[in-house]
Amino acid sequence: MIHAYQLVVLAPYAAALVLVAIPGYRVGAVLNVLASAATLAAGLWLMVSQGVVGEYAIVDEFNVVFIVINTLVGFTTALFSASYIGHEIETGRLPPGFVRFYHAMFQAMMGSMNVALVANNIGVMWVGLELATLITVVMVGLYRTPQAIEAAWKYFILASVGISLAFFGTILIYLAGQPALGEGVPAMTWSLLQAAAAQMDPAILDLAFIFLLIGYGTKVGLAPLHAWLPDAHAEGPTPISAVLSGLLLNVALYALLRFKMLVAGQPAALDPGPVMIVMGLVSLIFAAFMLYQRRDIKRFFAYSSIEHMGLIVFAFGMGGPLANFAGLLHMAMHSLTKSGIFFAVGHIAQAKGTQRFADIKGLSVTHPRLAVAFALAVIAIAGLPPFGVFTSEFLILTTTFAREPWLALLPAFGLLIGFGALLLRLQGTIFGEPVGPAHRVDASSVPLVLHLLLVLAAGIFLPPALVAWFQRAAELLG
């Protein structure tokens, strides 16, 4: 009998093989949505199925959190893509021949991320992330403009350097595990490595974690390793921006956290927490100030992603059951909210024919419904109640204040700086005299509304079952 975790991987890859042979846009879009729905169903099935610990696969409360978020946002992004890509074809920005390639690569990207999430083998996890990276490089350059090609190459070079460093760190972990587990697959099996962590050489673990932090930190978008992220968001199709911010950054963070758990199992090894706290704070505060300099709406929200990933890494660096719980909750809320924002940004860019803030004004006059949805999404990511981002940020700040009162001032300062930039841009975009064209927006608003409702519901009431699930996942982190 096939298990749900196998469907999470096999369904997207099977769909990719089918979609590459479907020439029509409409049929391909429908099949893309159906395949994403099947993957989501398999992901939700994992929530109620028994855990798995095999030679190559692992399913526990920790990675199920990431898998459910991955499959949910993948499904809503496929829904958004169906109408968004249709508009791109009608306006001539995307040749019809590229659509078959787009749909197949979208499913292959989702499958590769799921491989990384369910892998119990640290080598297979690296392969999944590397494959997802290479696919997103091609997707970023989909429009084939000089700017898109440049962004894709920049992404490819920086991400390849990062993933190469992560590969070297993975080899060092394998070497550290050999004395206790022997050569071959056991020394690459994460569950066995974690059980034998106390027997590993702390010096090798320390060196490995530094390489892994820099390597996977590049994929997470942590400053100063973030340079690829704004260009990739600005030049790639908006659905890919939603996947990058809402999913791929999380998958790289998942890999980093798995290795953090491993290093923490050796008492004589380097404590990963302070290093992650510093990198998280640097990313948070740096990105918050950079928001004021952005003139492109997609670059602006790319830096917002760097800001929030910095806060999440800070929370996991603090560690402990409550900080880990807050980090997981904020990761979930950020994924839903930021992907929803990119859905809104995609609508705005198609309505106004531009991504420049200077040419996007008066949305409340030209597109009132879109203006309300965009305003709600920005208010949510700014951390205002009653949305779920407020809950997670409040938990992170209060937990930090209870343990290190002076340290809590730094993330609070960064969030306030970012809050000011968000309100400034929101005011300029929603109000004022309309400029430029005001095209009709035919894209579906269902994905954006669904994400806003989920984030709103999480801010008003967290079901006890969800709280218990996140608590168990937080405990696994140590």
Digitized pLDDT (tens) for each residue of the chain, 478 residues in all = 678 888 999 999 999 999 988 877 888 889 999 999 999 999 999 988 877 888 889 998 899 999 999 999 999 999 999 888 887 887 777 777 788 888 999 999 999 999 999 999 999 999 999 999 999 998 888 888 888 888 889 888 888 888 899 999 999 999 999 998 988 889 999 999 999 999 999 999 999 999 999 999 998 989 888 888 888 888 888 888 888 888 889 999 999 999 999 998 888 888 899 999 999 999 999 999 999 988 899 999 999 999 999 999 999 999 899 999 999 999 999 999 999 999 999 989 888 888 888 888 888 888 888 899 999 999 999 999 999 999 999 999 999 999 999 999 999 999 999 999 999 999 888 887 787 776 777 667 889 999 999 999 999 999 999 999 999 999 988 7
Is 437 inside any structural domain? yes
- Integer Cα distance of 133 and 148 in angstroms: 16
Is 13 inside any structural domain? no
Task: Report residue 144 as tokens.
Answer: 């084939």
Is 241 inside any structural domain? no
- Integer Cα distance of 284 and 451 in angstroms: 24
Which of 272, 254, 260 lies closest to 309 in space, CA to CA?
254
Backbone angles phi, psi at 224, to 5 degrees: -95, 30
Q: To which residue do tokens 């159906």 refer? A: 34
Q: To which residue do tokens 């997981």 refer? A: 328
Q: In the prediction, which pLDDT does 163 show?
A: 87
381 near 330, Cβ under 8 Å? no
Cβ neighbours of residue 394 closer than 8 Å, sequence gap 6 or more: none
Is 339 inside any structural domain? yes
56 near 120, Cβ under 8 Å? yes
Is 424 inside any structural domain? yes
Q: In the prediction, which pLDDT does 351 show?
A: 85
Q: In the prediction, which pLDDT does 442 show?
A: 67
360 near 295, Cβ under 8 Å? no
Question: Per the structure, how many domains does the chain have?
Answer: 1
Task: Report residue 14 as tokens.
Answer: 């099977």
Q: In the prediction, which pLDDT does 478 show?
A: 76
- Integer Cα distance of 194 and 264 in angstroms: 9
Q: To which residue do tokens 């791929």 refer? A: 248
Cβ neighbours of residue 370 closer than 8 Å, sequence gap 6 or more: 344, 347, 348, 351, 363, 441, 445
107 near 70, Cβ under 8 Å? no
Which of 49, 48, 15 lies closest to 34 in space, CA to CA?
15
Is 245 inside any structural domain? no
Phi-psi region for residue 116, left (φ > 0), alpha (ψ -120 to 50) or beta?
A: alpha
Q: In the prediction, which pLDDT does 1 show?
A: 64
Q: In the prediction, which pLDDT does 145 show?
A: 84
pTM here?
0.95
Backbone angles phi, psi at 462, to 5 degrees: -100, 115
The letter for the amino acid at 370 is L
Q: Which domain holds residue 310?
A: 271-478
Exposed, middle or buried, 50 (CB in 10 Å: 0-12/13-18/19+)? exposed
Task: Report residue 169 as tokens.
Answer: 């760190």
Backbone angles phi, psi at 383, to 5 degrees: 90, 25
Q: In the prediction, which pLDDT does 90 show?
A: 79
122 near 173, Cβ under 8 Å? yes
Is 422 inside any structural domain? yes
What's the full length of the chain, in residues? Answer: 478
Which of 415, 385, 428, 213 lies closest to 316 in space, CA to CA?
213
Cβ neighbours of residue 427 closer than 8 Å, sequence gap 6 or more: none
Is 478 inside any structural domain? yes
Which of 315, 458, 463, 461 lies closest to 388 in space, CA to CA?
458
Q: In the prediction, which pLDDT does 407 show?
A: 95
Question: How is residue 142 annotated by DSSP?
Answer: T
- Integer Cα distance of 59 and 54 in angstroms: 9
389 near 381, Cβ under 8 Å? yes
Q: In the prediction, which pLDDT does 410 show?
A: 96
* Helix, strand or coil, per DSSP, at residue 433: coil
